[in-house]
Amino acid sequence: MHLYIPPSRHHHILYTATVLATLLTPAHPDPSRIGQWAVGPSTGVVGIHTALLPDNHLLFFERFHGLHYPSLYPPNPNTYSSNISQSEISTEMTFNPENPLTSGYVVEHETYSPFCAGHAQMADGRIFVAGGDGDGVGNGYITDGRKAVRTYASATGWVDIGELSTTRWYPTVATLPDGRLLIVGGLSESYIPDDPNRNNPTYELYPPDGRGTVPLEVLLPGYPNNSYPIVMVLPSQRVFIFSSINSMSININSWDNIITYPPLSKTDIYPSRSFPYLSPSVLLPLRKANKYRAEIMICGGTYINNTASNLCSRIIPDLGEEAKWVDDEMPGGRVMGDGVLLPDGNVVFVGGAQEGTADGPAGFSKATNPQYAAHLYNPRTRQWSVLASATIPRLYHSSALLLPDCRVLTAGSDQQNYANPSLEPFEYRIELFSPPYLFAASRPMITAMPSTISYNSTFQIHTPTSNIEMVSFIRYSTVTHSTNMDQRFVELEFVQTGKGIVEGTSPLDGSLAPPGNWMVFLVKDGVPSVGETVLLH
């Protein structure tokens, strides 16, 4: 692990650290210091959208191949059916953590195209998917999904459950404390930068509350760079919404009392953090030490000179009118990557590019120079480290999330031909990142615990491991376009009795931890156990 010190503040220290790192780096990098990557099996489709399901299952879905690029690329050979002369666009993988290469997938059909939809986990664990793509209308098999609302679960597959009040392409979805779904923004139809009539600067709730679509001023000034807005529920019963360079929060009980925050800095060289200048964002771990106060971090994007930014900006929204953005620097530039919360309380950033922007058809990438290195951020020390580099480039239409075994899965990318668009661009393989903590001599263990827990209650975790230092609680992820709509880390209160039992206390309410499937990890000496799934209600 190489400590990164921003050069603007520590020129001489950085030089010394770099020289020492060069002298001391072994010929074969030590995975206990920088982690390790391993290429995995095919998902059957490009993992543009990825969602974690119980029992080590994963949902993936993509955009059409043949309909978009019939002159260049054939239909997806993994899902093509000669009976219908059409490729399917979604699969469910059964992931085998013991031997990932033996993982398999089944093809799942959804009538209304979910490509470029928004999604979040429902209170009962189903995946809620709102909006989608209009391409393919008229083929009679997979059709216009921009107004569709559907759910996914392993037991049922896709189930269509209704319609939105308006068409949405590139919206964001968030699960509210009471289990309702908030659907924010997007476009009414496909992206044309000089047509503001395609903007959909509104929000709505599901199930509907009778108000239909409600205007949201923060989504107006950023067009056309405002798709997939950042939406995060705060423990203060507010929801934070960010678009382009602008942000606000609103009370989720009264749907008023709006607080507007300062715009981001450096807008003269850094025009937007939203699509197509996609910047990964995270709600930093909600921890006992900071009294569960929310701090949001947005990293990367693209400067106006087309190079990827290494700028990170943080804000504490509940400071109200006193809230301000604080800038930091990553070890390297990254646009359209992903930030993943780890059970040890750190954040790892993976994937993306070092030049260009998102958008474009498969094979014709607007981004180049993949960012292979993983960058680790420690929110407690505010320090960055450079970890191991991936093998597979992850450019536009890629995704990443945390698995229960504490590895990070990366998937997708359909713009691999930044040098030669005539080649096959679709990346079907996953790659797995094992952080340094997985190379410790031993790991804590969970031998038994409940499968469901209620709010503000105690529950028992059985473990043979003594001296547990932290109980981490991480929500299942749904992710696309650098936007993870579910990911959340809450540190739980606990007492270890000394009799093989850790007694944990569940979160106080849904504003701290929205209902649904979560993973429980025991952490000792910075090393996490395998996560156990629990349904919080």
What is the pLDDT at residue 138?
A: 45
Q: Which of 29, 99, 100 is nearest to 389 (CA)?
A: 29
Q: Tell me the chain's radius of gyration from C-alpha atoms.
A: 22
Question: Sorting pLDDT into bands at 50, 70 and 90, what band is 423?
Answer: confident
What is the mean pLDDT of the segment spanning 378-397? 97
pLDDT at position 10 over 50: no
Contact at 8 Å (CB) between 332 and 310?
Answer: yes
Q: Which of 528, 534, 531 is nearest to 465 (CA)?
A: 528
Question: Sorting pLDDT into bands at 50, 70 and 90, what band is 505?
Answer: very high
pLDDT at position 76 over 50: yes
Q: How does pLDDT run across 424-446, given as a tens digit for each residue?
A: 789 999 999 999 999 998 999 99
pLDDT at position 386 over 80: yes
What is the pLDDT at residue 415?
A: 78
Share of the chain above pLDDT 90, in %: 78
The domain limits of the chain are 35-439, 452-536
Separation CA 98–CA 266 (nearest Å) = 46
pLDDT at position 70 over 50: no
Beta bridge partners of 302: 308
pLDDT at position 99 over 70: yes
Contact at 8 Å (CB) between 244 and 234?
Answer: no
Query: Which helix H or strand E contains 153, and what residues bound it?
Result: strand 148-153
CB-based burial label for 136 (10 Å; 0-12, 13-18, 19+): buried
- Residue 105 corresponds to which tokens in the numbers above? 């997938």
- Sort residue 456 into left (φ over 0), alpha (ψ -120 to 50) or beta: left
Of the listed ranges 26-40, 161-175, 331-345, 466-480, the least confidently predicted one is 26-40
What is the mean pLDDT of the segment spanning 72-101? 87
In the CATH hierarchy, which top-level class contains the domain 35-439? mainly beta
Provide the 8-state DSSP code for 504.
Answer: E
Do the domains at 35-439 and 452-536 have one common CATH topology?
no
Among 1.10.10.10, 2.170.120.20, 2.60.40.10, 3.30.470.10, what is the CATH number of 452-536? 2.60.40.10
Distance in angstroms between the alpha carbons of the first and the last residue of the chain: 39
Q: Which of 177, 178, 121 is nearest to 153 (CA)?
A: 121
Separation CA 535–CA 531 (nearest Å) = 13
Contact at 8 Å (CB) between 214 and 202?
Answer: yes
Q: Which of 137, 39, 52, 113 is nearest to 392 (CA)?
A: 39
Q: Which of 280, 296, 283, 284 is nearest to 330 (CA)?
A: 280
User: Is the peptide bond prior to 370 cis by the omega test (within 30 degrees of 0)?
Assistant: no
Mean pLDDT, the chain, integer: 91
CB-based burial label for 499 (10 Å; 0-12, 13-18, 19+): exposed
Beta bridge partners of 234: 238
Beta bridge partners of 385: 3, 376
Q: How does pLDDT run across 186-212, given as a tens digit for each residue?
A: 999 877 777 888 999 999 999 999 999
pLDDT at position 381 over 60: yes
What is the mean pLDDT of the segment spanning 49-66? 93
What is the mean pLDDT of the segment spanning 496-502? 92
Q: Which of 223, 265, 277, 190 is nearest to 483 (CA)?
A: 277
Q: How does pLDDT run across 230-257, given as a tens digit for each residue?
A: 999 999 999 999 999 999 999 999 999 9
Q: Which of 452, 404, 415, 408 is nearest to 432 (CA)?
A: 408
What is the pLDDT at residue 24?
A: 40
pLDDT at position 2 over 60: no
Provide the 8-state DSSP code for 112.
Answer: B
Separation CA 126–CA 516 (nearest Å) = 8
Report the half-sphere exposure of 96 (CA within 13 A, side-chain side): 11
